[in-house]
Structure 1
């Protein structure tokens, strides 16, 4: 593997971005989204005629963020908006017949869901409710018979950039509503929440997504929104990165819908004072701790069930917590380097989540075997599904048969190390160079580097439960200078030959106003 200097690293990272960076003013016109103008007119008329409007969201970060942006926007009109975020355990996903039983409105708007709500659309028709679906998930051939469907992934939709999340679709639609009603609302004020949604929903950080996240993280640093103030206080950094959101904030917000009810997260985002926002954030923290415990236990149980000879891992168990199966699937992908589907069984019905790797579209593989399912939805890298317990074995066989036709190269993880950095290149100047290419995430991964046969000088365990390792190494035998590597959630013991080969990334560590370089181990070989 090649040894890189800073200039070569700069050139390699620059080559990821062929086009010039977009400005906010270059975001394509929302009117290019199919049915968006029609929807904006219908919403404006509903407001003018004082009709009842109900919003139906989703329980993940994207769904909660979409709902929060809508709530804040309607507050500023001001106009009353009823919000329902389905409960994962009682209602299931999206705008469903059970959710519609609670709705008394002339207009229903969905955010981050609805593209597969065939049954719900029928019920709305019967009840004379206009249904506007806003979603970003991949549509099936059969579309709901709704008043309007706004989804960039519709084949007939002319919006030029398709990889946007549910909150972006909602935000773009509201920009048209603002225009219709001649409102003086600055759409930039919502970018703090929007950036969190884009990062948490693992959208590719290229094109307009890159611009929105970059500007959104700046808005987050200065926004008077109580939830943003709490996030700033909690992270306590002079600069918030996309990874801070991905690892520290998104899991907390997600934990409400996973374990209890997403309304807790919505109340955090829409709190009108910092006191209320703080209380909700504390509650999210407790739920997140519980989520971690549940996830660790379930992952242990799932690993035992894995058939390592199959291309696609499919594991199922009675009573696994439905709220953590998605994270457990991601853990299995990390461990076995294969797509994974984890199912929780209750009363003869299995519900679960799928996560993928490399170039494998888990959505397409599931779709090929939909005759064995009761429901499914999602996109290339992640999906949700439901089926009867008696069909699990048949589904496992069928999806593996479908996967056997794929090229083995499709299964290769995309996270290759860029090269080897010599010890002398690892300094604050390197941090500045890396910061120029932020935000990092999907389609722009943080660069990782390789250490080969480095000498392990010492290992210390850290953290209250001593579950993290601090490893001091010497890259080359004759060097005096040592480097410190951190391995989170990993107890590493001194190897017999006192050597380590690993992949690591370089991050900024801020402590007591002191900035230092921190090397985080991604993988030990």
Structure 2
């Protein structure tokens, strides 16, 4: 028995909207969910543009930051660009470097990414000591810094100015810096979910408009799109506009660096190609080594760097698989003590992929997960939430066990003393036992027949994107589907990926891809079933087609 679709729950409203706007039921359904009620609102939503963006000068302290940056530029001071080692941080430093080298000699610009294992997340003391040693006058930190009071104060004690552009949750105190974060108190910028690169882009937009009016900062908007899609921030409002502008620029061949299309490869450029192809390669460098290689790839023309990142990503996948296997063995052990979460310590594990392993544990166990690595004095790791659980608040309740940590409601990173691990896990498990949350449910937009799935229909669906957190891609269903005789073919070597040849009740035949299918698939498809699916663009030898991608199968 399938669950009720959005259309079935809102039939009167969707039908009325369909008639008023002259669009079919699937389009009307998607518009109704997004509170689009008039042709004007539809035109506005389906055509994202620069003029829909809020005024970036409303970002608190953006004026101070822009003026401070310009003073250092005019004085030919040395400037350090300090970034987190993930895609958001790396794309931020790429954007900042590209913008500054248009107005400042490159030998006055230096970049710094902390070593993930040696320094951990955030602005490190080692990083500031490096700045002091190299006569840096200004540090601009992006996608980090909110909790780094001591290291920021060390910089200030040595007369180094610090600008922080961050988007993580803010506590009661902020560092002694020019601090820009839409989540801080009294910030009038109304959209609170920018990526770290988005916050930086807002500051640079105000800086360029004020001090360099001939510099169009939107020429680098592809970096912002990369950060938004890969950092899993909400694809709503300003984020959706910025991501769309960046993706459209890339589709037109406008890249900030020659290596960006090489990192994407020969595939259709959309949010998925950034999230699942470019993003993991950039992340692999920061996870396993240092992010400097990824930065060079994002700003340069050395194609060999793309090959190196491919190799690092292959190594990252192998490491993730072996660590996930070990973590699953722990949580499935009869002696496993934690009922409310997947809490795992892997002494020999690599903290660079702890977040990926934690995400996999959430998928399998449907519980929040924390994966810690390291056998020396300190352990470092990552946490991932499940459903609508606010992970940030939960960790904050137990932060007395931690040395350092930071994050947001869905993910966090942390370091703690090895002897504190058991107490921290027990405390988190107990806190989760007293916390209620809802897991994500399969969401259906509406039922649809295979006959409607034309190229035009699919192409128009893209106008509701880019899709992601807060703006999910459409999910349809078709009932009474059967599999054609000998219509199941295995894909790859995993044993759970398939291509199915399907027939709907009207006799229309379509192929569908089914990844990570259940082990009893052949039993499920033995009779008629309801196919739950999405649609995915596929570019092959310059020809764009559309794949049906099965998300679930419900026997009838």
The reply on whether 1:290 has 2:315 as its aligned counterpart is yes
1:113 aligns with 2:118: no
Q: Deviations over 1:397-432 (max 9, x none)?
A: 22232223333xx32215523243333333324312
1:75 to 87, 101, 115: 101
Aligned-partner Cα distance in 2 for 1:286–1:420: 43
Match of 2:532 in 1: 503
1:250 is displaced (CA, Å) by 1.0
SS at match of 1:155: coil
* Deviation, structure 1 residue 293: 1.2
Distance 1:524 1:253, change over 3 A: farther
Deviations 1:116-158 (A, max 9, x none): 1111122112212112222111112232222x11111112222
Whether the 8 Å CA contact 1:333–1:357 is kept in 2: the answer is: yes
Query: 1:177 corresponds to which residue?
Result: 207
Contact between 1:473 and 1:482, CA under 8 Å: does it hold in 2?
Answer: yes
Trace 1:120-131 onto structure 2 (pairs within 5 A).
Answer: 120-131=151-162
1:430-445 counterparts in 2 under 5 A? Answer: 430-445=457-472
Matches of residues 297-336 of structure 1 in structure 2 within 5 Å?
A: 297-306=322-331, 310-336=339-365
CA contact (8 A) 1:461 1:491 kept: no
Q: Matched residues in 1 for 2:428 and 2:460: separation? A: 44
Tell me how far 1:501 sits from its aligned partner. Answer: 5.9
Question: Shift of residue 352 of structure 1?
Answer: 1.0
Q: Distance in 2 between matches of 1:234 and 1:26?
A: 28
1:192-207 matches, cutoff 5 A: 192-207=222-237
Higher alpha-carbon deviation: 17-26 or 433-442 = 17-26
Q: Mean Cα displacement is larger for which, 11-20 or 293-302?
A: 11-20
Question: Following TM superposition, by how much is the alpha carbon of 1:215 offset from its aligned partner in structure 2, in angstroms?
Answer: 1.1
Deviation at 1:463, TM superposition (A): 3.3
Work out the CA distance in 2 between the residues paired with 1:400 and 1:419: 39
* Superposition TM-score, scaled by structure 1 size: 0.91
What is residue 60 of structure 1 aligned with on the other side? 86
CA contact (8 A) 2:488 2:499 kept: yes
The Cα shift of 1:266 comes to: 0.3
- Contact (CA 8 Å) 1:221, 1:228: kept in 2 or not? no
Match of 2:25 among 8, 13, 18: 8
**How far did 1:505 drift?**
1.2
Contact 1:44 1:180 in 2 (8 A): no
Shift of 1:444: 0.7
Shift of residue 210, structure 1, vs aligned partner: 1.0
Residues 414 and 266 of structure 1: CA distance in aligned 2, closer, same or farther (over 3 Å): farther
CA contact (8 A) 1:459 1:494 kept: no
Q: Report the Cα distance in structure 1 between the residues aligned to 2:446 and 2:33, rounded to whole angstroms.
A: 16
User: 1: CA distance between counterparts of 2:446 and 2:456?
Assistant: 18
Q: CA deviation at 1:473?
A: 3.1
Give how far 1:346 is off: 2.4
For residues 459 and 111 of structure 1, the distance between their equivalents in structure 2, rounded to whole angstroms, comes to 48
SS of residue in 2 equivalent to 1:495: helix
User: Residue 305 of structure 2 aligns with which residue?
Assistant: 280
- How many residues in Structure 1 have an aligned counterpart in Structure 2? 515
Structure 2 match to 1:158: 188
Whole-angstrom distance in 2 between the partners of 1:224 and 1:484: 34
Q: 1:232 to 1:82 in 2, by over 3 A?
A: closer
Quote how far apart the aligned CAs of 1:480 are. Answer: 3.9
Deviation at 1:295, TM superposition (A): 1.0
In structure 2, the residue corresponding to 1:316 is in which secondary structure? strand
Where do residues 63-462 of structure 1 align in structure 2 (5 Å cutoff)? 63-79=89-105, 80-103=108-131, 104-146=135-177, 148-225=178-255, 227=257, 230-231=260-261, 234-237=264-267, 239-271=268-300, 273=301, 276=302, 278-306=303-331, 310-407=339-436, 410-413=437-440, 415-450=442-477, 454-457=481-484, 458-462=487-491
Structure 2 alignment gaps of length 5 or more: 8-14, 16-22, 36-40
Distance (whole Å) between structure 2 residues aligned to residue 204 and residue 115 of structure 1: 20
Alignment partner, residue 10 of structure 2: none
**Is the Cα contact below 8 Å between 1:459 and 1:492 reproduced in 2?**
no
Per-residue Cα deviation, 1:35-82 (whole angstroms, up to 9, x for no partner) = 111111111111112222111111000000110011001111133311
Aligned to 2:11: none
Does 2:34 match 1:17?
yes
